[in-house]
């Protein structure tokens, strides 16, 4: 599967690249060159992940500024325009250039290893997808420089991350800022779609001997479902953005309310993509937990078939719930009822997952390595997040809570408390595989506690602010509305999150040189990625392994009672 791979033996580091010229690993330039031209799924995976964390810091600093502005009423740290650009960019970047690259990164790195393949189905296409994503992100950030430079009007996009029509029409946002939003996302969207196709083909066609779909590791399963969602539900967003661009440049009327266009149609289009998107983000996190929890409980996942079924079910149902983001825009009574129903149904398969994780932990020997810590935090926080989600799903309750800080709290609970925690778990879990060294445990624990405490300080109070009627996307507020204290605590929390993140970033680099050697299989794990050296060679496996059960390595380690007896 090696077409034009540059076969140097240099492992890619996380971005920004640690510069160590004149070292036995080759000169810096050679190393960068390798990163740029590589088509190896592992290096691309790391590039994705590096990009993700890079933008995370950027968008996180924006979040810190948002919190700084809201720390007290009538604060004048930033101007309204700046603030609106801040939360728009924060949201857009976090979703499309933090969460998505991280998801694709893990998929890229882990999936081929887990299914015993030598590389992706289309390595060159894979590289292409990454660079599209990467430059999409750069294009979006360039808006800060480019947009005012050209027209003297409007800087970065400031129409909220779902670019409400008709606010995006020329009448209400002059200057090219909105165009940066739609073009950047068109570019990265193309990258994600091609990437999704690539990964699905890989999973379908390149599994090693004996690995039936039914023996596939759950992480790979969830990636499969995720990529299906990507392939099916990114195009609607692209379509809507094409229309928007036609409107802004050729004067098409799609969302021009002045010309009879509909402001609501845009929302339908966006959320038809938008809701599946949030599951695109969370399913891989589920996948990571499905790997971490069994291994640190020393038991196989509880109820593999049901877990697969639940994931697929979630995938399908999530296609039919989008209008729960639109309960208050004035839909017909029927559709409100219908979408409330479909929304609540999702609680059932999701619940099953949580229960099965608990079932896995029951009767096990839990080892609280850092990945396990983050996984447990995930369960706890995702539970709360899901329940607040259910409250929002009950349409009448949403008529009060919609567009309030309660919603902000809800989705940060899912995303930061869930997805980001899951990604952290995955990073600590697979780092030794990627770099051959363990991440430092003490630093990891500090990171964990700092971030979890910061997380709760930041987002728990936002629920109350929302209950007391605080709307989202306001750059300032007046005293006496009962919001002060909540915003104060919330802002304070960010500092802890920031420190936590700094510790994490430091740990990434420190362990790269100083971490203790990992060896092939530090966690005493069971899936194929642990059967090759760490870091794995460019071709992944000397000889493609053959698989007879879901836990091939368990079979090797325990010939006395192998899994395949039970399948």
Please list every residue from 64 through 123 that binds another protein, using CB under 8 A: 79-81, 84
The radius of gyration computed from the CA coordinates of the chain, to the nearest angstrom, equals 23
Neighbours of 13 (CB within 10 A): 21
| Residue 391 in the binding site for another protein (CB under 8 A) | yes
Q: Which stretch binds another protein (CB under 8 A): 51-59, 96-104, 372-380, 422-430?
A: 372-380
| Residue 94 in the binding site for ligand HEA (CB under 6 A) | yes
Residues 6+ apart with CB under 8 A from 449: 500
Return the residue matching tokens 């009767």.
363
Q: Given the complex with ligand HEA, which of 410 and 550 has the nearer CB atom?
A: 410
Site for ligand HEA in 476-535 (CB under 6 A): 494-495, 497-499, 501-502
- Report the partner that residue 229 touches, choosing among ligand HEA, Cu ion, another protein, none (CB closer than 5 to 8 A by kind): none
Identified binder of ligand HEA from the candidate list 45, 50, 52, 60, rule CB under 6 A: 60
Angstrom distance (rounded) from CA 270 to CA 238: 9
| Residue 275 in the binding site for Cu ion (CB under 5 A) | yes
Q: Given the complex with ligand HEA, which of 478 and 543 has the nearer CB atom?
A: 478
Site for another protein in 423-442 (CB under 8 A): none
Identified binder of another protein from the candidate list 364, 492, 505, 521, rule CB under 8 A: 364
In whole angstroms, how close is the CB of 20 to another protein at the nearest point? 37
**Which of 199, 216, 37, 239 is CA-nearest to residue 104?**
199
Query: For residue 2, is it left (φ>0), alpha (ψ between -120 and 50) or beta?
Result: beta
| Residue 450 in the binding site for ligand HEA (CB under 6 A) | no
Identified binder of ligand HEA from the candidate list 242, 345, 347, 453, rule CB under 6 A: 347
Angstrom distance (rounded) from CA 219 to CA 112: 11
Q: Which stretch binds ligand HEA (CB under 6 A): 19-27, 31-39, 380-388, 531-539?
A: 380-388
| Residue 87 in the binding site for ligand HEA (CB under 6 A) | yes
| Residue 385 in the binding site for another protein (CB under 8 A) | no
Query: For residue 438, is it left (φ>0), alpha (ψ between -120 and 50) or beta?
Result: beta
Identified binder of another protein from the candidate list 10, 28, 264, 492, rule CB under 8 A: 264
What are residue 517's DSSP bridge partners?
A: 437
Q: How many residues bind another protein (CB under 8 A)?
A: 124
Task: Please check whether residue 155 is in contact with residue 81, taking contact to mean a CB–CB distance below 8 angstroms.
Answer: yes
Task: Tell me if residue 421 falls in helix, strand or coil.
Answer: helix
Angstrom distance (rounded) from CA 280 to CA 335: 24
Identified binder of another protein from the candidate list 30, 61, 344, 495, rule CB under 8 A: 344
Neighbouring C-alpha atoms within 13 Å toward the C-beta of 307: 28
Identified binder of ligand HEA from the candidate list 140, 414, 434, 438, rule CB under 6 A: 414
| Residue 480 in the binding site for another protein (CB under 8 A) | yes
Q: Which stretch binds Cu ion (CB under 5 A): 32-40, 232-240, 272-280, 420-428?
A: 272-280
DSSP assignment letter at 214: G
Q: Given the complex with another protein, which of 398 and 538 has the nearer CB atom?
A: 398
Site for another protein in 226-245 (CB under 8 A): 231-236, 238-240, 242-243
Which H, E and C letters describe 504-556, residue by residue?
A: HHHHHHHHHHHCCECCCCCCCCCCHHHHCCCCCCCCCCCCCCCCCCCCHHHHH
What are residue 404's DSSP bridge partners?
A: 471
Identified binder of another protein from the candidate list 10, 68, 394, 453, rule CB under 8 A: 394
Task: Please check whether residue 121 is in contact with residue 202, taking contact to mean a CB–CB distance below 8 angstroms.
Answer: yes
| Residue 237 in the binding site for ligand HEA (CB under 6 A) | no
Phi, psi (5° rounding) for residue 26?
105, 160
Q: Given the complex with Cu ion, which of 275 and 353 has the nearer CB atom?
A: 275
C-alpha distance across the termini of the chain, in Å: 32
Nearest residue to Cu ion on Cβ basis: 275
Tokens read off for 547:
């698989």
| Residue 298 in the binding site for another protein (CB under 8 A) | yes
**Which of 58, 85, 217 is CA-nearest to residue 159?**
85
| Residue 43 in the binding site for Cu ion (CB under 5 A) | no
Q: Given the complex with ligand HEA, which of 265 and 474 has the nearer CB atom?
A: 474
Task: Please check whether residue 384 is in contact with residue 417, taking contact to mean a CB–CB distance below 8 angstroms.
Answer: yes
| Interhelix angle 421-435/441-467, nearest 10 degrees | 160
Tokens read off for 328:
């208050």
Nearest residue to ligand HEA on Cβ basis: 60
| Residue 420 in the binding site for ligand HEA (CB under 6 A) | yes
Residues that bind ligand HEA (CB under 6 A): 57, 60-61, 63-64, 66-67, 87-88, 90-91, 94-95, 98-99, 160-161, 278, 281-282, 324-325, 343, 346-347, 350-351, 354, 383, 386-387, 389-390, 392-393, 398, 402, 407-408, 410-412, 414-416, 419-420, 458, 472-473, 494-495, 497-499, 501-502
């Amino acid at each position: 599967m090696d077409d034009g791979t540059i076969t140097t033996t240099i492992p890619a580091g996380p971005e920004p690249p640690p510069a160590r010229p004149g070292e036995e690993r080759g000169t810096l330039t050679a190393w960068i060159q390798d990163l740029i031209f590589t088509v190896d799924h592992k290096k691309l995976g790391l590039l994705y992940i590096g990009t993700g964390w890079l933008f995370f810091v950027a968008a996180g600093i924006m979040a810190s500024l948002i919190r700084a502005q809201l720390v007290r009423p009538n604060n004048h740290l930033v101007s309204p325009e700046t603030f609106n650009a801040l939360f728009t960019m924060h949201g857009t970047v976090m979703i499309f250039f933090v969460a998505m690259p991280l998801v694709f990164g893990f998929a890229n790195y882990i999936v081929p290893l887990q299914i015993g393949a030598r590389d992706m189905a289309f390595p060159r296409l894979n590289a292409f997808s990454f660079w599209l994503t990467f430059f999409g992100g750069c294009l979006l950030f360039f808006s800060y420089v480019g947009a005012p430079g050209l027209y003297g009007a409007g800087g970065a996009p400031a129409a909220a991350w779902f670019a409400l029509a008709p606010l995006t029409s020329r009448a209400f946002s002059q200057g090219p800022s909105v165009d940066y939003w739609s073009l950047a996302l068109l570019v990265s969207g193309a990258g994600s779609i091609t990437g999704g196709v690539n990964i699905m083909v890989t999973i379908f066609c390149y599994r090693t001997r004996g690995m039936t779909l039914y023996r596939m590791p759950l992480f790979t399963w969830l990636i499969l479902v995720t990529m299906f969602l990507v392939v099916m539900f990114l195009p609607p967003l692209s379509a809507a953005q094409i229309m928007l661009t036609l409107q802004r440049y050729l004067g098409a009327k799609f969302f021009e309310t002045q010309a009879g266009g509909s402001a609501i149609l845009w929302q339908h289009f966006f959320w038809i993509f938008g809701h599946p998107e949030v599951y695109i983000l969370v399913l891989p996190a589920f996948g990571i937990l499905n790997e971490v929890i069994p291994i640190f409980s020393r038991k196989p996942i509880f109820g593999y078939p049901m877990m697969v079924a639940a994931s697929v079910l979630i995938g399908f149902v999530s296609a039919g719930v989008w209008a729960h983001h639109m309960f208050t825009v004035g839909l017909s009574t029927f559709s409100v009822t219908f979408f409330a129903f479909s929304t609540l149904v999702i609680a059932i398969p999701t619940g099953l997952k949580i229960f099965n994780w608990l079932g896995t932990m029951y009767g096990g020997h839990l080892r609280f390595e850092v990945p396990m810590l983050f996984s447990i935090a995930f369960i706890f926080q995702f539970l709360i997040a899901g329940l607040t989600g259910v409250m929002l799903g009950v349409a009448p309750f949403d008529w009060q809570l919609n567009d309030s800080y309660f919603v902000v709290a809800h989705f940060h609970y899912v995303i930061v408390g869930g997805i980001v925690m899951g990604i952290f778990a995955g990073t600590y879990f697979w780092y030794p595989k990627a770099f051959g060294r363990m991440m430092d445990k003490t630093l990891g624990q500090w990171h964990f506690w700092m971030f979890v405490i910061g997380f709760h300080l930041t987002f728990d109070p936002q629920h109350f602010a929302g209950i007391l009627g605080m709307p989202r996307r306001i750059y300032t507020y007046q005293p006496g509305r009962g919001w002060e204290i909540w915003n104060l605590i919330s802002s304070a929390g960010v500092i802890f999150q920031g420190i936590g993140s700094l510790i994490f970033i430091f740990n990434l680099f420190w362990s790269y040189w100083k971490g203790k050697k990992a060896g092939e299989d530090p966690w005493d794990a069971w899936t194929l990625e642990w059967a090759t050296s760490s870091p794995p060679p460019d071709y992944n496996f000397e000889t493609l392994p053959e698989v007879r059960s879901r836990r091939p390595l368990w079979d090797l380690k325990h010939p006395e009672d192998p899994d395949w007896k039970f399948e």
